[in-house]
Each structure stands twice: as structure tokens, then as C-alpha cells.
Structure 1
């Protein structure tokens, strides 16, 4: 089968209004994702720090303080 010039047409670009609509939809999706991520990270930030982790930090601080004195 031989391609005629008409069968190899490039797809038409969306009209200006359609392009603006798709850009607006993309912006709205990005904003929604940002809101959900901020909500998720706010929950994580507000969680209490586990005691075991605090103990590790205390020990590290004590070791560092001991090193600074020498």
C-alpha cells in the first residue's frame, strides 16, 4: 500500500480555546495535587516523635558535647 500525501497529514493542533481549557485543567490538577500533598505532610509533621528516636538524638547530642570539650 502506498501512502498518498493526504493520508500522512499531521494531526491538527487544538484550537486556541481548547488549548487554554486544557492548560486551565492542568493548573487545577496541579493545585489539587499540591493541596493534597500539603495536607499529607502537615499530618506527618504533627505526629509525635517516637521515644526511641528521641533517645537516639539525646545520645548523639551527648557524644557531640563530649567531643567538643576535648
Structure 2
């Protein structure tokens, strides 16, 4: 019996799968770069004076209350 199945279709599907996987990797990499950029911007923002004052008051209260 002669096998008439064409394996080129399977190879084409493999290539498409590889291309899809590579595209997904590139998309994830781009998202990661953007997230790191956004995180760096937030980390480098100054702390508002009002927030620093709240932290100072909390530290002073904790020092007066003693160890937990």
C-alpha cells in the first residue's frame, strides 16, 4: 500500500507554531520592558512631604509605646 499523506502540511504547521511562539515571546518582552520603565518612573518619584510627616509621627508614637 502506498502512503499518500503529505508531511509538508505538518512541517508548515510546525513553522507556524514556531512563528506564533516567537511572536508571543517578543510581545512578552515588549510588555516587560514597558513595565520596567513604568516601575522605574514610580520608584524615582519623590515622596510627598505630607507622607513623610505621617511616617515621622508613626515612628515617634512607636518609640513612645515601646516594643510590642
Range of TM-score over shorter length: 0.7 to 0.9
Aligned residue number for residue 52 of structure 2: 54
Structure-2-length-normalised TM-score = 0.78
**Normalised by the size of structure 1, how large is the TM-score?**
0.76
Q: Give the RMSD, CA atoms, in angstroms.
A: 1.6
Gaps of 5+ in 2: 1-9
- Work out the number of aligned pairs and report it: 57
Q: 5+ unaligned residues in a row in structure 1: which ranges? A: 1-12
Q: Which residue of 2 aligns with 1:43?
A: 41
Give every structure 1 segment of 4 or more consecutive aligned residues whose post-TM-superposition deviation is greater than 2 Å: none
Output the CA distance in 1 between the equivalents of 2:47 and 2:55. 11
